[in-house]
Amino acid sequence: MNAAIFLDRDGVLNRAVVREGKPYPPSSLAGLELLPGVLDAVTSLKKAGYLLVVVTNQPDVARGTTSKEVVDEINDSLKSQLNLDAIYTCFHDGADNCDCRKPKPGLLLIAANDFQIDLSKSYMIGDRWRDIDAGTRAGCRTFFVDYGYEERQPAEYNFRVASLYEASQIILQKDI
């Protein structure tokens, strides 16, 4: 069984666009900006033997405010730049009540099946309560990247950090 690092996309790998205290994805590939330390973090985690799997909600597709093509372009760019193993995307809105939209653990469970991942040896790193709840429900240890968004905060998490890079350093120290 493999161990994985499950990563939210916007706000963990790339800079989220914050409006009125809430994060949003970039509106185009041109707006994609990796956060500081991300390349070093994912390179180190990959070298340590972890699978790198992005699990991302992109409800703007269902809402009609962005296209699936734009989301796919951004995902393809991130996968290529960061040597990610996979990206799983939920394109539904909350009202769709699907199993893949975080905070439900559906995307993590699908990835675990696809890659023979031991969820108890894996981590979920996210910047919103939905990410943390999905990781917890899947049986992963969780890292909350806290940007102080003006929205609901996760009820509980294993670690609170300022960045993916900080989370990676904690994970790598635990493996030593």
- CB count, 10 Å around CB of 113? 9
The Cα-based distances of 27 to 72, 82, 89, 100, 153 in angstroms read 12, 20, 16, 22, 25
**Which residues, 6 or more positions from 176, have their beta carbon under 8 angstroms from its beta carbon?**
none
Q: Do 53 and 4 contact (CB within 8 A), yes or no?
A: yes
Supply the residues annotated as catalytic: 8, 10
CA 21 – CA 19 distance, rounded (Å): 5
Q: Which of 100, 117, 126, 119 has its CA nearest to residue 23?
A: 126
